[in-house]
Amino acid sequence: MTVLTYLTGFGNQHSSEAEPGALPIGRNSPQRAPLGLYAELLSGSAFTAPRADNRRTWMYRRRPAVVVGRYAPLPHGGWKSGAAEGEAAPPEPLRWAPLPVDGGGDFIDGLRSYAVNGEPGVQGMGALAYVATRAMGRRALVNADAEMLIVPQQGRLLVTTELGRLEVAPGFIVLLPRGMAFKVDPLDALARGYVCENCGAAFRLPELGPIGSNGLANPRDFEAPVAWHEPEAGGYEIVKRFGGRLWRATQEHSPFNVVAWHGNLAPYRWDTARFMTINTVSFDHPDPSIFTVLTSPSDTPGWANVDFVIFPPRWMVAEDTFRPPWYHRNVMSEFMGLVTGQYDAKPGGFKPGGASLHNSYVPHGPDSEAFGQASNAELKPHKLDATLAFMFETRWPLKPTPWALREAPLEASYADCWQDLKDQFQP
Ligand SMILES: O=C(O)Cc1cc(O)ccc1O
Ligand SMILES: [Fe+2]
C-alpha cells in the first residue's frame, strides 16, 4: 500500500486538499464551492462552546452526507450501550481471558461489549472488544452516539475516515470523532483489540498543572490524516449507531468522498511510545492519574466521564517503597486491558488480549505472587520493559453485559489470586 502522510497536532486547525484548489480561501461557504464540490460542516461541540473546547470541520465533498437511503434496524447481538443494557453484577473483581481470534467477521460484526454505563449519546461509556478477520469492503460505520477510541492489541489496521486514512499497529491508538464515517480493515490475517465508546464530552489532553507545559502525551505527536477520496465508483452500506441501536441504509456512492477539508475536529492516531512518562524519583507509588493520555470530563470538575490511562514501559526507582499498585478501593470504576507484556500487579494472571473490571469500591491490587515478589525485591533501579497495559476509568459504575457474564471467557477463579495473602502481623 502507499505510504500515508499525516498532519500533526492535537486540536490544531488543520487543512488538507487532495486536489489543488479544492479548498475555498477566505470563506467557508462560497456561493459555489470550488471544483463543483459541496460544502458540509461537522460539529464536535455546540456552536457556542468555549473557544478552547470548540471543535468543527468543514468538508468539501462530491456529495453531501444527506444523500443516503432510508434506515432500517440492523440486528447486532454483541454491541450494547448504556447502563440499561448492562446486568447487575456481584461487587467482585471480574477478569476475562483473551478472546479467540476467529469468527470470520469484519470490525462491526466482531464488536462485543464487556461493560456499559451512562446513556447512549448523552454520557458514560462502553468498553468493547473487537475481532476482525476481514475488511469492511463497501460498508462504513457512523457512530452518532459516541466518539470511538480504538486500542489495537493484535494486527495492523487501515482506518479509512471521511477526512482520510490512518494506518496503525498495536502500540498505537486511534481516535474517531463522533458522527464521522469510518471503516476499520485488518492489514494482517487477523486483528483484535479494544474500543472505548465515549458518549460524553470529547476526549482531550489533560491539564498538566505543576508538570508544566510539556509532558505526558504531547499534542504534536497526534497525527491526523490528509484528504483522500475513494476512486472506485459504486454503492455503500452505511451502518449507523444511533440511540443505542444499529441501523443500516444504502447509498450509491462512497462516503469517503471528501476532496478537501479544514478544521480542528479530526481523527487521530497516536503512538503510545511517544508518551513522556512521569513517575516518582523518591518514594511511594503515585496515583495512576500521572498516566492519563486523554480525558473526557464530566460536569463535575475532576470526575472524568472517562479517562484513558496507559501503563507504558518505565523505570521503577522508588526507595523504601512497595512498587506495584497499592491495595485500593476506588470510587471510580476501572476497566483494564493488556496490549503486550506483563502488568506489574498481576505478572502471571493477566494475559495480553484479556480484560478486567474492578468496579466502584471493589477491592483490588497486586495478586499474592506480585505481593510476595515486590515485598522482598532488592530495590535497585528496574525497567518495566516491553509492556503496555491501559485503563478506561469512569466515574459511573460499569455494568457487565450478558455476553461478558455468560459467553465471554470469564475467569471464574480470578478472585482466588488474593486468597493466599496471609495475616502476617507480628506484634
Ligand atoms: O488497579 C489497577 O491495577 C490500576 C491502578 C494502577 C495504579 O498504579 C494505581 C491505581 C490503580 O487503580
Ligand atoms: Fe485500581
pLDDT tens digit sequence for 47-93: 999 999 999 999 999 999 999 999 999 999 999 999 999 999 899 99
**Helix ranges (DSSP H) in 253-412:** 368-376, 402-406
- For residue 288, the CA-to-ligand 1 centroid distance in Å is 6
Collapse the DSSP code of 110 into the 3-class scheme (helix H, G, I; strand E, B; otherwise coil) and give the result. coil
Q: C-alpha cell of 118?
A: 451512562
- C-alpha 7: how far from its chain's center? 20
Q: How confident is the model at residue 27 (pLDDT cuts 50, 70, 90)?
A: very high
Residue written as cell 463543483?
36
β 236-242/139-143 pair status: parallel
- What single letter denotes the amino acid at residue 20? P
Give yes or no for a contact between 215 and 208, defined as CB atoms under 8 angstroms apart. yes
pLDDT at 104: 78
What is the arithmetic mean of pLDDT over 211-232?
97
What number does the ligand 1 atom closest to the CA of 346 have?
3
Q: Give the C-alpha distances (Å, rounded to integers) separating 69 from 239, 247, 254.
A: 12, 11, 13
Strand partners, 5: none
What distance in Å separates the CA atoms of residue 84 and residue 87, rounded to the nearest whole number? 8
- For residue 285, the CA-to-ligand 2 centroid distance in Å is 12
pTM of the full structure: 0.98
C-beta 345 within 6 A of ligand 1: yes
C-beta contacts of 249-254 below 8 A and 24+ residues apart: 249/68, 249/69, 249/70, 249/71, 249/72, 250/68, 250/69, 251/67, 251/68, 251/69, 253/62, 253/63, 253/67, 254/138, 254/229, 254/230
pLDDT at 102: 79
Ligand (nearest to CA of 362): 2
Q: Residue 310 above 70 pLDDT? A: yes
Collapse the DSSP code of 36 into the 3-class scheme (helix H, G, I; strand E, B; otherwise coil) and give the result. helix
Q: What residue owns the CA closest to ligand 1's atom 12?
A: 288
pLDDT at 85: 97
What is the arithmetic mean of pLDDT over 15-34?
98
Burial label, 286 (beta-carbon count in 10 A; 0-12, 13-18, 19+): exposed
C-beta 61 within 6 A of ligand 1: no
- Residue 284 is classified by DSSP as S
Q: C-alpha cell of 50?
A: 468555549
Ligand (nearest to CA of 325): 1
Average pLDDT score over the chain: 97
Domains and CATH numbers, the chain: 68-272 (2.60.120.10), 273-412 (2.60.120.10)
Residue 285 falls in the annotated catalytic set: yes
Give yes or no for a contact between 241 and 141, defined as CB atoms under 8 angstroms apart. yes
pLDDT in tens, 123-159: 999 999 999 999 999 999 999 999 999 999 999 999 9
Q: Residue 1 above 60 pLDDT? A: no
Q: Tell which one of 391, 392, 398 to mutate to probe ligand 1, the residue whose CB is within 8 A of the most ligand atoms.
A: 391
What is the arithmetic mean of pLDDT over 336-345?
96
Burial label, 56 (beta-carbon count in 10 A; 0-12, 13-18, 19+): middle
**Phi, psi at residue 164, to the nearest 5°?**
140, -170
Q: Tell which one of 95, 280, 290, 311 to mutate to probe ligand 1, the residue whose CB is within 8 A of the most ligand atoms.
A: 311
What distance in Å separates the CA atoms of residue 326 and residue 84, rounded to the nearest whole number? 33
pLDDT in tens, 242-274: 999 999 999 999 999 999 999 999 999 999 999
Ligand (nearest to CA of 389): 1
Q: How confident is the model at residue 122 (pLDDT cuts 50, 70, 90)?
A: very high
The sheet carrying 14-17 orders its strands as 14-17, 258-263, 56-61, 38-43
Strand partners, 248: 72, 239
What is the arithmetic mean of pLDDT over 299-315?
98
**Phi, psi at residue 368, to the nearest 5°?**
-55, -40
- For residue 307, the CA-to-ligand 2 centroid distance in Å is 13
Taking residue 279's Cβ as centre, other Cβ atoms within 10 Å add up to 15
Closest CA to 145 of 79, 221, 218, 222: 79
Q: Residue 2 above 80 pLDDT? A: no
Torsion of CA 302, 196, 143, 273, to 10 degrees: 100
- For residue 323, the CA-to-ligand 2 centroid distance in Å is 14
C-beta 226 within 6 A of ligand 1: no
- For residue 7, the CA-to-ligand 1 centroid distance in Å is 34
Indicate left, alpha or beta for 220 from its phi (over 0: left) and psi (-120 to 50: alpha): alpha
